[in-house]
Amino acid sequence: MKRLLSHWATANFFFLLSFNALACGYCLQDRIASVYDHVLVKQTKQLNQKMLYLVWDGPADHNEKTRRTLIGITSRIKGVTKGSVRVSLEPPTIGLAFQPSSISREQIETALLQKLRTKKIVISALPE
């Protein structure tokens, strides 16, 4: 009986541990999934636009006010498609569509870094 309980406890431990491994929030797929919008991605492809995913971090509170601030600032960057900005608090990620003929990934990242400096938020683009 002790042996059976020991095996049961071990199996449950690894079963529960696997839930953390499924969505840790740090891998690329988890971050993109947190802001992924299939309709937006489909429209972006149809319009010959591109998607950009960024990680955001800093001492700013990870709350609804910060999320709205990030959406507002990001949406006002020239070349970012209107209504395309998605922001996740956990994991902290930004997703957006943009017109590559108007602005590059690097220009968006630079503009965001400058605009978010006063908010003490830093961003970094995820690989394509």
Residue spans per domain, the chain? 25-125
| Distance of alpha carbon 74 from alpha carbon 35, whole angstroms | 14
Q: What is the pLDDT of residues 48-85, one digit of tens each?
A: 999 999 999 999 999 999 999 999 999 999 999 999 99
Q: What is the pLDDT of residues 108-123, one digit of tens each?
A: 999 999 999 999 999 9
CA angle 107, 109, 115 (to 5 degrees): 100
Residue 37 main-chain phi, psi, to 5 deg:
-135, 105
* pLDDT at residue 128 in the model: 82
Strands 93-98 and 50-57: antiparallel
The model carries a pTM of: 0.79
| Distance of alpha carbon 102 from alpha carbon 47, whole angstroms | 13
Q: Length of the chain, please?
A: 128
**CA 1 to the chain's CA centroid:** 48
Q: What is the CATH number of domain 25-125?
A: 3.30.70.100
Going from the C-alpha of 28 to that of each of 10, 53, 125, the distances in angstroms are 30, 10, 11
| Distance of alpha carbon 89 from alpha carbon 40, whole angstroms | 19
pLDDT confidence bin for 26, thresholds 50/70/90: low
Measure the CA dihedral 106/111/115/117, to 10°: 40
